[in-house]
Amino acid sequence: MSKPEIEFQDGPAPTELVIKDLTVGDGAEATPGAKVEVHYVGVEFDTGEEFDSSWNRGESITFPLAGLIAGWQEGIPGMKVGGRRQLTIPPELAYGPAGSGHRLSGKTLVFVIDLLDVKVPPAVPVVEPATGPAPTELVVEDITVGDGAEAQPGAVVDVHYHGVEYDTNDVFDSSFSRGESVKFPLGRLIPGWQEGIPGMKVGGRRKLTVPPELAYGPAGSGHPLGGKTLVFIIDLLGTN
């Protein structure tokens, strides 16, 4: 595989996203919200001037689609690993109209993208609405027991998590929705996590129901979640 050459574009710039498969892959398919590893080169439609290229840097790049310009979010899903696709992206799906503050604003862009790998994030957990009064103590429930290394107090953990309010079932935070797990030392987290995660094993999924005293404190404490009982679904992916 080598750096592609993008031919100069004739005619007026398109006003909608144009997708052209140069090579159809036969591997895993990219889905919305996936994390993708790609090589790419980007040029300006009007001039053919190259403005970015992973090939020039000598290494591919991996990122979640959700963090990219809209043209990539719409144009990469459906690609399969091993494929090469050309995207012609109008300003509205790239860096906005002229004067919006980005050096490429107002410009139609052309990318040729090679899809090297796809990592599909796990499905967002479904949390059943709570019934009955909120517990006054930490409730720990193992949904799936892992068979890997066990998390210890004070460890650094790599987790996916999904958090809802006990009373309303409203989602307030979710790494699943962002498509990326998170690593952090347990000692920096709310007490409910510090008490509720140790003993989990990698590969496990645990539900924690955390009263305010072990979360963000009583109502009026200054945090938006102060006074609220919280429910977390946590997948333990790794621990040191």
pLDDT tens-digit map of 110-152:
999 999 999 877 888 999 999 899 999 999 999 999 999 999 9
Is residue 172 annotated as a catalytic residue, yes or no?
yes
The torsion angle over the Cα atoms of residues 157, 159, 162 and 167, rounded to 10 degrees, is -20
Is residue 166 annotated as a catalytic residue, yes or no?
no
Among the listed residues 8, 143, 170, 172, the single catalytic one is 172
How many other CB atoms are found less than 10 A from the CB of residue 113? 23
Among the listed residues 111, 166, 216, 233, the single catalytic one is 216
Among the listed residues 40, 45, 232, 233, the single catalytic one is 232
Which residues neighbour 2 within 8 Å (Cβ) at sequence distance 6 or greater?
none
Q: What global pTM score does this model have? A: 0.65
Is residue 232 annotated as a catalytic residue, yes or no?
yes
Is residue 216 annotated as a catalytic residue, yes or no?
yes
CA atoms within 13 A on the CB side of 5: 2
Is residue 45 annotated as a catalytic residue, yes or no?
no
Q: Which two tokens stand for residue 126?
A: 């479904």
Q: What ranges do the domains of the chain cover?
A: 18-119, 139-239
Architecture per CATH, domain 139-239, reads as Roll (3.10)
The CATH label, of 3.20.20.210, 3.40.190.290, 3.10.50.40, 3.30.559.10, for the domain at 18-119 is: 3.10.50.40
Q: Is the dihedral of CA 31, 36, 38, 41 positive or negative?
A: positive
Among the listed residues 40, 45, 161, 176, the single catalytic one is 161
Is residue 33 pLDDT above 80, yes or no? no
In contact, 217 and 223? CB cutoff 8 Å:
yes
Chain segment 65-84, per-residue pLDDT in tens:
888 999 999 999 999 999 99
